Structure 1
Amino acid sequence: MLTSKQKKHLRKASHNVQPIFQVGKAGVNENMTTQINEALEKRELIKVSVLQNCFEDNNQVADEIVEATDAHIVQVIGNTVILYKESEENKQIELP
């Protein structure tokens, strides 16, 4: 679980990060979560964009991804979900 100080640090770090995944009307599937997990291992901090045609709530999408990848939700703002997962081999972000 991330502390509020860590979340603040990660929100600041994610400011210039562009969303690399989009969740559409098909929702979250196993293939997508596998790719998100690989991206988290490589980058540690990613953004996921939830498209307008997605039938699920943004928080529900975030919860499904977290459940499948063991990542942490940094923030759900608008249609964007910011996720963090500490990399095992490629640690780049030092948390306070």
Structure 2
Amino acid sequence: MRRIAAILLASALVIGLSIGSTGTAEAKTTAKTFKNCTEMNKTYKGGIARTSSVKNKGGKTKNKPFVSKELYDANKKSDRDKDFIACEK
């Protein structure tokens, strides 16, 4: 009888922990959106690139862009020349 009670208690704990952990994993953080390039360049001097392999269409820049797909997608409106680097300097 004790053994069955211990097995049931252990099973309930495992099921409870697995259900509780999936609820917290679903919470997503949102990427910060900037009003304009001036605001973005205060935090990210070289702008934000979608991937590390993108090339700047506008020529030489002073600073390297910060690479983040989530940040770029949130601030895609700031990429005027559509080269996958927003607000490059």
TM-score normalised by length of structure 1: 0.23
Bigger radius of gyration: 2
Hey, which of these two has a bigger chunk of helix by percent?
Answer: 2
Of the two structures, which has the highest relative contact order with CA contacts closer than 8 Å and spacing of 6 or more?
A: 1
TM-score normalised by length of structure 2: 0.24
